[in-house]
Amino acid sequence: MHSLTDEHLLEIIRLNRINRALLEILPTLGIPHSMLVAGALFQTFWNHRSGRPAEWGIKDYDIAYFHADLSWEAENRVIAQVHQACSHLGVNVEVRNQARVHLWYEAKFGGTYPPLKKVTDGIDRYLIRSTCLGVDACTGKLYSTHGLNDLQNNRLRMNELNPRPSLFREKAASYQARWPWLQLIE
């Protein structure tokens, strides 16, 4: 098997019509340091690998951005802007300012979360190594914290940058329920 390259993964990601649309819309909105991240990317890849439609089972499309304004009002304006621009897509688009994550993470997931310094810091802390992916909305370049080896080899391994064993196992089990061939590596 050939090594999965950034370019090949980007081609697969763009097979998902929603990903293509979001990557066309986002650069027009002027949102600082915005990226299409998480499940929209790796779930599209797993769907491609399993022969399913690119959009199958993707419950939301995550947009991460980074802005120093920590107010809910500022984030809410960006959320409203994205929702208005993407309403015709008929999918749930989740938008989060990564500069604010530390303000709500503990209440939602338990445990502390350090303030992030840039948009990719959030990607670096996703629970599963193979899911630490983003596509820069302005450049179209792929960002991958740990490379593509685990993704290519169907491995679900806990991210040592955010070790939360119970949350990791819960998320991994959810993925294995939809893509049973994924291998849990503990």
> pLDDT digit of tens for each residue in the chain (186 aa)?
578 999 999 999 999 999 999 999 999 999 999 999 999 999 999 999 999 999 999 999 999 999 999 999 999 999 999 999 999 999 999 999 999 999 988 788 777 888 999 999 999 999 999 999 999 999 999 999 999 999 999 999 999 999 999 999 999 999 999 999 999 998
Q: For the chain, what are the domain ranges?
A: 6-185
Q: How would you label 44-73 residue by residue, b for 16+ Cβ within 10 Å and e otherwise?
A: bbbbbeeeeebbeebeebbbbbbbeeeeee
Is pTM beyond 0.85? Reply is: yes
